[in-house]
A and B are shown apart, each in its own frame.
Chain A
Amino acid sequence: MKKVLSMFLLILLVGVIAGCSDDSSTSDNGNNTDNNTNTEENNEEKDYSGEVLKVWSFTDELEDPITTFEERNGSTVELTIVPIADYPTKLRPALESGVGAPDVFTGEIAFLKEWTDRGYWENLSADPYNVDEWEDDYVPYVFDLGKDSEGNVRALSWQTTPGGIFYRRSIAEEVLGTDDPAEVGEMMSSWDKMFETGDKLKEAGYRLFPDEGAIRWFSKSEDPQPWVNEDNELVMTEAKLNYFDHAKTLREKDYTAFAPEWSPSWFAAMDGPVAYNGGWDEVDSEASKDNQTEVFSYALPTWGLHSVLKPNVEETNGDWAVTSGPAPYFWGGTWVGIYSGSENKDLAWEFVKMMTHDEEFLTDWALETGDVLSYLPVTDEIKGDFSEPFLDGQNNYEFFLEESKKIEPGIVTKYDQQIDTLLGSKVIDYVDGKVTKEEALEEFYKAVKNAYPEIKTP
């Protein structure tokens, strides 16, 4: 025991010495950095050729815009891609210390609200940016999400990512008697109607959704309120409580196919029959026909069409359509802003401006990728021209734009991502029959309290 104690004392002693020397050298270094900044600012010229802009993101979707940007003004852009799971790990030390940080970086919805309040992004409401003037040009909820808690805009987004229900036309035709998106949408427009549709599908040997998690977005946005209010209280709406029951109904009535999101069976079910509750048999063998089922629909947002459905579908290409569910929702999205410590803010601003407010570029971008833009002057111009072969010619662009305008702004908090995850896992426990609804709720409150001690739970 004595030995351990003396060791601790030694550790502390050395630590104090090390700490002192570190402090002094830190401040030295800080001064140097400041000097550098000044000289570089003095040397700055309006012509950007030869200048280097550092951009960090978590996908490579900026690659084409960067090429355009480089061609336009002769600058060089260094794009660093970090997988989403490691993105905060990489960003945090660099942004906190200012060394090695990028000039421009993107943020995904999961971190957005946390980052807008940390001062990592430049205040775009201030001079010389004054983006508040642009507010009317954007889909309201998208513009609103880029604001910090004081209402200053920190990041902008070129896209909007509302969701819908993608369904199989052939199954709709066979079971529901129509494949028209408006009529099918009507059959999905409330919980009761949705379950009724589920019942019809089940009778015919189909499943409404791949899994119970598919309905979480509708439960979340049915009664749009923030998860945590100004008094730091957890807001548990009736709709969210009903999520437990609705999910249980789906399971008990057999409206789902036991294909959890992102699992192999979830992907497999997009392109044809999947083995139901016993998938170890060969999928195409005749003997197991009885055990098979097809999934009718998936709740997915705009990007779900391009990066989820299209790459995983072959047989059912052209057999899809998109319509609305019981409530409008959005899922995901990428925002972009200028690092507040950047030494290259002019060029960074040029880049952000091009990505979010340049009619020529955005028109090309939208026509090329099918990305649904949040910048209305362009979307108003082009939205009539879309016809998606994958959806049998349906104009999904117009549909998603309409959906995006129905989304209530101002309800996303920095807690959302994690609290949604916690709720989802407790709902699944309840659906699996491991706990009662009361127990699940209690565990949920306890988990929220544990994660965020500052939140008051019911």
Chain B
Amino acid sequence: MQNKRRPTKTIIYLLLILLAIISSVPFYMMIINATRDTKDIITGFTFVPGSSLIDNYNTMMGYVNIWNGFKNSLIVAVSVTVLSGYFSALTAFGFAVYNFKGKNQLFLFMLLMMMVPGQLGLIGFYELNKTLGLLDTFIPLIVPTIASPFVVFFVRQYLATTLHSSLLEAARMDGASEMKIFHTIAFPIMMPAVATMSIFTFIGSWNNYILPLVILFSPEKYTLPVLMGFLKGSQVAQNLGSMYLGIAISVVPIMIAFLFFSKYIITSIGAGSVKG
């Protein structure tokens, strides 16, 4: 048995490493290219970094203040992640635990609305925000994500396997209010699901392009993807190294954040299974 298992394990690891390489090659290329100049990039790809990182950085900063965009993106993405995580947990809890009139219809309604293709809603959304006086603010980018059907759907599905009504009953016996039960008992149980979805929400918001492009007018409010678009339309587009550097600056930090966050999920998963 022992002899048989060793090679299997090696093969599995080799397979995983191969998959990991396939997944990370474009990333590596991007980071390497951020340190090379245009001529080198055109001639082909190498695995060795170039020496033009500082030049590329200066060229790029001559056009846009990428750190300001970084700050804006961070404000938006963090707010979105927190709001959508909290309110989705709240909504999913409401759907999973209570039995009320029209519950199934409302859930179905929510599911139906996420099936409508969104491409054409842009003009209506713009007009709505014009009416509400919210154009050129972060609010249209942040507040609507309180209603994130996909996240609610996921957390509810997760609760279906993990939440036991006995836990809630016990808490109610102790005289805890419903909100308190949600915050102290249900939310920790939902945490792995919320955290998982938070990654996607954060990245979705971080990469969101068309909405901020249309909603924001003031350059000092531009988010990173809009600034990258700005770069694409300018002379910098000729300087491929600077373009790659811009993309790298917008991606690498979230990659690092993600790695940390990923660790956190594992800990919360551990906590979850102890309770379950």
- From the candidates A26, A82, A93, name the one contacting B229 in the complex (CB within 8 A): A82
Whether B210 lies near A89 (C-beta < 8 A) is yes
Within 8 Å of chain B (Cβ to Cβ): is A10? yes
Whether A82 lies near B213 (C-beta < 8 A) is yes
Within 8 Å of chain B (Cβ to Cβ): is A83? yes
Within 8 Å of chain A (Cβ to Cβ): is B135? yes
Given contact pairs A26-B131, A99-B135, A89 touches B214 in the complex (Cβ within 8 A) = yes
Within 8 Å of chain B (Cβ to Cβ): is A90? yes
Given contact pairs A7-B108, A89-B214, A97-B127, A29 touches B233 in the complex (Cβ within 8 A) = no
Contacts of B126 in A (CB 8 A): 93, 97
Whether A90 lies near B131 (C-beta < 8 A) is no
Whether B217 lies near A10 (C-beta < 8 A) is no
Q: In chain A, residues 48-62, which have Cβ atoms closer than 8 Å to a Cβ of chain B?
A: 54, 57-60
Whether B233 lies near A60 (C-beta < 8 A) is yes
In the complex the two chains form, what is the Cα distance from A92 to B135 in whole Å? 15
Within 8 Å of chain A (Cβ to Cβ): is B184? no
Given contact pairs A86-B229, A96-B123, A97-B127, A29 touches B105 in the complex (Cβ within 8 A) = no
In the complex the two chains form, what is the Cα distance from A25 to B128 in whole Å? 10
Whether A80 lies near B128 (C-beta < 8 A) is no
Contacts of B132 in A (CB 8 A): 25
Within 8 Å of chain A (Cβ to Cβ): is B139? no
Within 8 Å of chain B (Cβ to Cβ): is A78? yes
Given contact pairs A60-B235, A82-B233, A93-B214, A22 touches B128 in the complex (Cβ within 8 A) = yes
Chain A CB within 10 Å — which of B128, B230, B233 has the most?
A: B233
Within 8 Å of chain A (Cβ to Cβ): is B11? no
Within 8 Å of chain B (Cβ to Cβ): is A100? yes
Contacts of B238 in A (CB 8 A): 311
Q: In chain B, residues 126-156, which have Cβ atoms closer than 8 Å to a Cβ of chain A?
A: 126-128, 130-133, 135-136
Contacts of B135 in A (CB 8 A): 99-100
Whether B130 lies near A97 (C-beta < 8 A) is yes
As a 0/1 sequence over residues 91 to 127 of chain B, the CB contacts with chain A under 8 angstroms (1 = contact) are 0000000000000110011001000000000110011
Q: In chain B, residues 51-86, which have Cβ atoms closer than 8 Å to a Cβ of chain A?
A: 63
As a 0/1 sequence over residues 328 to 350 of chain A, the CB contacts with chain B under 8 angstroms (1 = contact) are 00000000000000000000000
A76 to chain B, nearest CB (A): 12
Given contact pairs A59-B233, A83-B233, A89 touches B213 in the complex (Cβ within 8 A) = yes
- Residues of A within 8 Å of B, CB-based: how many? 32
Contacts of A29 in B (CB 8 A): 130-131, 133
Q: In chain A, residues 20-67, which have Cβ atoms closer than 8 Å to a Cβ of chain B?
A: 22, 25-26, 29, 54, 57-60
Contacts of B214 in A (CB 8 A): 89-90, 93-94
In the complex the two chains form, what is the Cα distance from A289 to B209 in whole Å? 46
Within 8 Å of chain A (Cβ to Cβ): is B232? yes
Given contact pairs A22-B131, A26-B131, A97-B126, A58 touches B108 in the complex (Cβ within 8 A) = no
Whether A81 lies near B234 (C-beta < 8 A) is yes
Within 8 Å of chain A (Cβ to Cβ): is B219? yes
Whether B109 lies near A10 (C-beta < 8 A) is yes
Given contact pairs A82-B213, A83-B229, A83-B232, A7 touches B105 in the complex (Cβ within 8 A) = yes
A19 to chain B, nearest CB (A): 11
Contacts of A54 in B (CB 8 A): 217
Within 8 Å of chain B (Cβ to Cβ): is A84? yes
Q: In chain A, residues 241-276, which have Cβ atoms closer than 8 Å to a Cβ of chain B?
A: 267
Whether A3 lies near B213 (C-beta < 8 A) is no
Whether B108 lies near A60 (C-beta < 8 A) is no
In the complex the two chains form, what is the Cα distance from A89 to B119 in whole Å? 11
Within 8 Å of chain B (Cβ to Cβ): is A6? yes
As a 0/1 sequence over residues 406 to 438 of chain A, the CB contacts with chain B under 8 angstroms (1 = contact) are 000000000000000000000000000000000
In the complex the two chains form, what is the Cα distance from A83 to B105 in whole Å? 43
Contacts of B219 in A (CB 8 A): 78, 80
Chain B residue with the shortest CB-CB distance to A59? B233
A233 to chain B, nearest CB (A): 31
- From the candidates B105, B210, B235, name the one contacting A86 in the complex (CB within 8 A): B210
In the complex the two chains form, what is the Cα distance from A256 to B42 in whole Å? 23
In the complex the two chains form, what is the Cα distance from A59 to B219 in whole Å? 16
Chain A residue with the shortest CB-CB distance to B125? A93
In the complex the two chains form, what is the Cα distance from A89 to B135 in whole Å? 16
Whether B232 lies near A80 (C-beta < 8 A) is no
Given contact pairs A89-B213, A97-B130, A3 touches B230 in the complex (Cβ within 8 A) = no
A263 to chain B, nearest CB (A): 13
Contacts of A99 in B (CB 8 A): 130, 135
Chain B CB within 10 Å — which of A29, A78, A100 has the most?
A: A100
Contacts of A26 in B (CB 8 A): 127, 131
Given contact pairs A29-B130, A29-B131, A86-B213, A3 touches B108 in the complex (Cβ within 8 A) = yes
Nearest 5 CB-CB pairings of A with B: A93-B126, A60-B234, A81-B233, A100-B217, A83-B233
Contact sample, A vs B, 5 pairs, CB 8 Å cutoff: A7-B105, A22-B128, A86-B229, A94-B217, A97-B126
Contacts A60-B233, A60-B235 known; 8 new A-B pairs at CB < 8 A: A25-B131, A54-B217, A57-B233, A59-B234, A60-B63, A81-B233, A86-B210, A86-B229
